[in-house]
Amino acid sequence: MLRWSRRIGLTLGALAFAAAQASAQAVLSPEQMRDLAGQAVLQGQAGLAYDLTGALIERDETDLDAHLIRSRAARNLGRNDEALTHARRAWALAEGENARYAAALAMAQALSSSGRRTAAQLWLRRAVQIAPDDGLKARAAEDFRYVRRQNPWSTALRFSIAPSSNINNGSRNETSELFGLPFEFALEGEARALSGVEISTGLSTRYRLVNSERKRTDLLFGASHRTYVLSDEAKDIAPDAEGSDFATSSVFIGLQEDYALPGGRSRLGWDARLGHTWYGGEPLLSYTRLGTNYRRATGPNGMLSFSVSREGQSGEGTRDDATIWSAHLGYGMSLASGNTVTVSTSFIQSESDADYLDYTQRAISARYGLAKPIGPAQLEFGLSLSEKIHDRANLTTDGRDERSLQATVTAALPEMDFYGFIPTVTLNAERTHANIDLYETENFGIQLGIRSAF
């Protein structure tokens, strides 16, 4: 009965709109026609809205509201090319924040309906940038998240600049005891810590091949490059060195899948990657990596994760081959205050014929993020401890033992939002104690980067 009542209501509404349309030009003013067209598109009468706005645009081709409503109506009718045409025209006509915001949303909606979701995301970032108030900004950001979930492509760009006291992981000491001899050797050039600036860029992209409630399959690609600029002090210590001598570049392709387990709270997945790395502009190694991972939601705000992987490295030139096993266990949750806490532990074992590649490493780390900003900054604190043991070492008969401590403070600056991207500043302090002076290092630096706000 309710279904038939609804049908009768829609029919009567359609008849009323049709009657209004038939006499619109003779009876209704342009303002009344716009209002009627807006009501029609909101009530599901896209055809009527399309016809009414056609009459308005024929009367005045610069009618911004008519183009906006007709773009929506055309999209609802499946006429995506026309929807995009009218959205473009609306953008060209728009003046002022409110009009430009509405036109940017119309462009994003038309592009998304046409299957061009990456372009739609760019227009939604533009809408976020020009939104007249926080409420409309939040709406555009939520639309962005929705389109991103529907988009098979997902791409992330990274860029950072980081002044550092030790770009080459050199020793903090000027002398070192070697080979068990009862005197010290002077450390010179690149063996010592060199200060400078790290410049890092990266790109990672994913194409979702399968997306269902049970299974997701992704094709992966990534590339990164990190290079350095030496300080004047570093050039005095190592006159023959250049920042590019320590540059690292890498590329990889991969495939990953994960599956929803019964109960809806857990996912199990696997991934495979092929990659290549260069150091100082020269080939360093190629690798193949296979891994599996498990994630489970715990309570309303927690997530437990576990992963295991095996990486086979084929060295280039004089570098030896290695097999690296790694395991990672982590847990993160949001507290009642809105603050977030994450703790994790990892284990790595590298097997190789080379002493410097044959080691075991254990690490534990914790991160704590504040929900409320302090001044203009959203703060996150990090602390990690690690131990790396080589049973054999060329420089001593006692093997090589290193213990590292690292602390970070990251400040995100949401008030400096630009197109949904915000700057970040990370303060980093790291120190390594070793039984061989050559491998004792320390590094203090500041990293400037950007991240997406949503």
Give kind and range of the element (H or E) at residue 313.
Answer: strand 302-315
Instruction: Please choose, from the candidates 85, 12, 77, 6, the residue with its C-alpha nearest in 3D space to the C-alpha of residue 47.
Output: 77
DSSP for 87-102? Answer: HHHHHHH--SHHHHHH
Name the burial class of residue 36, with classes exposed (0-12), middle (13-18) and buried (19+) by CB atoms within 10 angstroms of its CB. Answer: buried
Segment 92-133, tens digit of pLDDT? 999 999 999 999 999 999 999 999 999 999 999 999 999 999
What per-residue confidence (pLDDT) applies to 398? Answer: 77
Q: Which residues contact 12 (CB under 8 A, 6 or more apart)?
A: none
Would you state the structure tokens that stand for residue 234, as one six-digit string?
A: 């570093």
What per-residue confidence (pLDDT) applies to 180? Answer: 55
Q: Which residues contact 419 (CB under 8 A, 6 or more apart)?
A: 125, 126, 128, 129
Segment 129-173, tens digit of pLDDT? 999 999 999 999 999 999 999 999 999 999 999 999 999 988 887
431: β partners: 405, 442
Distance between CA atoms of residues 118 and 115, nearest Å: 9
User: Which parts of the chain have pLDDT scores under 50?
Assistant: 1-25, 183
The residue whose two tokens read 């030496």 is 230
Distance between CA atoms of residues 148 and 115, nearest Å: 12
What per-residue confidence (pLDDT) applies to 179? Answer: 53
Which stretches within 114-215 are classed as H helix?
117-130, 134-150
pTM for the structure as a whole: 0.83
Would you state the structure tokens that stand for residue 296, as one six-digit string?
A: 């489970």
Instruction: Please choose, from the candidates 354, 437, 399, the residue with its C-alpha nearest in 3D space to the C-alpha of residue 178.
Output: 437
Q: Are 342 and 331 in contact (CB under 8 A)?
A: yes
Q: What are phi and psi of 181, to 5 degrees?
A: -80, 150
Would you state the structure tokens that stand for residue 25, as one six-digit string?
A: 């030009």
Task: Please tell me whether residue 231 adopts helix, strand or coil conformation.
Answer: coil
What per-residue confidence (pLDDT) applies to 188? Answer: 76
